[in-house]
Amino acid sequence: MADKFDVIVIGAGPGGYVAAIRAAQLGLKTACVEKWVNKEGKTVHGGTCLNVGCIPSKSLLETSHKFVEARDEYGDLGINVSDVSMDIEKMMARKDKVVSQLTGGISGLFKANGVTSIEGTGRLLKDRKVEVTGHDGESQTYEAENVVIATGSVPVDIPPAPMTEDLIVDSSGALEFQEVPKRLGVIGAGVIGLELGSVWRRLGSEVTMLEALDTFLPVVDEQISKETYKQLTKQGLNIRLGARVTGSEVRDNEVVVKYTDSDGEQEQTFDKLIVCVGRRPYTENLLGDGTGVELDERGFIQVDDVCQTKAPGVYAIGDVVRGPMLAHKGSEEGVMVADIIHGEKAEMNYEAIPSVIYTAPEVAWVGRSEQQAKKDGFDVKTGVFPFSASGRAMANNATEGMVKVVTDASTDRVLGVHIIGQHAGELIAEAVIAMEFGSSAEDLALTCFAHPTLSEAVHEAALAVDGHAIHMANRKKKR
């Protein structure tokens, strides 16, 4: 038997690496097991988020957005540029550099905080023993007082569109295209589809998105999702709702996709096809006999409110457990679990987890949509402020979108905030803090916001709940 640890974390994504660093900071003897190997054959930390998720996708989104701004919008600002063109190889090289800087950064943080890094595939055995099989096939077993499972998630496959080497790909493949596909098909108009569809649309692809549901972005407040649909279709994303993919075939380096929609049976040919229809928890070969850890019917590890599994001393966090599959949600769970292991009382407010879709304009929200709040039985009051009435948005040449504040009419408590607009992903932090502190719309309305900023739109939307937005003709509302 090898070393004994206070905490062994399995998986070094944003859930696991944060849990490991926090545990080590609290003085616990901590190890983190990671199996991810990069193109150069080196074990890398950071999981999906840093290697093939949040970070590379945002790098490509930012570059492609800057390209479109320079090509289509600089002229409006009086900046004359000609021959704007893209160097895809350079864009990809920069993305890869950002990824390797950040994954290397986590390894550095492990060293600095005294986290023992164990390379290989971890398997939980009975009584909190962890067997690790190294990349050379050799196994070693470690003991721990506590184990944190943070093994993340992988893309869902669908039988009508099985992956191929490079024509039918998942999100990871779509981050690696070496040239702009002329005709790009995307199955699933969810978060990944919209973000990666936007990247390649901006760079010149004709993008068709096939979405099974009849409703666009049903998790988003209806008013905001309608505006998002309008903005993104205006940019050329061809979003087909109610489209059921029935089959696909690779012919002469092209992909022929068959689907049915309200117009009947359809067939369309693409140069590349991205399948992004959701992700599923990853627990392959993870649990040995008698661990006591249980899975639910969808394959998630079953945990309570504080991420404790059915086995004492074994916790699970991040994408492998219930809740939104978001990096920051996993990281916060990691902190909570490390604190609990250290003997502190810790909890998480699952009602105040922000979501952001990094399209242009960005879409961001926290808390309940108007429709959800009504479903939950609240008497709802809302305030909406359009960016077209914001001085800063005008100065920025970014007047699309709005801020919407949803409140409980009887207490004025903020139940949710929904934004579509430039920097919505940054603006939403104000709303998260407000909700975390149990703010009313009046609290926000009585707060002083700097001028001229986009965040004044949050202020104005809070004022609009009572019909008192300053820079807008208000609906008549009684005080």
Q: Which residues are designated catalytic?
A: 451
Tokens of 46: 């950071």
Report if residue 189 touches ligand NAD, rule: CB under 6 A: yes
- In whole angstroms, the minimum distance from the beta carbon of 54 to ligand NAD comes to 7
Between residues 152 and 181, which has the closer beta carbon with respect to ligand NAD?
152
**Whole-number Å distance between alpha carbons of 438 and 424:** 21
Site string for ligand NAD, 289-328 (x = CB under 6 A): -----------------------------------xxx--
Closest CA to 422 of 447, 403, 448, 445: 403
276 binds ligand NAD (CB under 6 A): yes
> Which residues make up each annotated binding site for NAD(+)?
188-195, 211, 278
Give the closest residue to 205 by CA, choosing from 227, 244, 231, 174.
174
- The annotated binding site for FAD is made up of 58, 122, 151-153, 319, 325-328
Residue of 419, 431, 427, 472 whose CA lies nearest to 228: 419
Rg of the chain in Å (alpha carbons): 24
Q: Smaller CB distance to ligand FAD: residue 102 or 393?
A: 102
Rounded Cα distance between 273 and 10, Å, is: 33
Contact 321, 293 (CB under 8 A): no
Query: How many whole angstroms separate alpha carbon 118 and alpha carbon 115?
Result: 9
Binding mask 20-39 for ligand FAD (x = CB under 6 A): -------------xxxx---
Between residues 193 and 386, which has the closer beta carbon with respect to ligand FAD? Answer: 193
Q: For the segment 165-204, give every residue that binds ligand FAD (CB under 6 A).
A: 171, 192
Alpha-carbon gap, residue 357 to 200, rounded angstroms: 16
State which of positions 54-93 bind ligand FAD (CB under 6 A).
54, 57
Tokens for 111, please give them. Answer: 């060293």
Phi, psi angle pair for 416, to nearest 5°: -170, 155
Rounded distance between C-alpha atoms, residue 229 and residue 237, angstroms:
9
| Binds ligand NAD (CB under 6 A): choice among 20, 44, 61, 191 | 191
The binder of ligand NAD chosen from 32, 277, 373, 406 (CB under 6 A) = 277
Given the complex with ligand FAD, which of 12 and 469 has the nearer CB atom?
A: 12
C-alpha dihedral, 355 to 357 to 361 to 367, nearest 10° = -20
Residues contributing to the site for ligand FAD (CB under 6 A): 10-16, 33-36, 47-49, 53-54, 57, 121-122, 150-153, 171, 192, 282, 286, 318-320, 325-328, 330, 358
Residues contributing to the site for ligand NAD (CB under 6 A): 158, 187-193, 195, 210-213, 245, 276-279, 324-326, 356-358
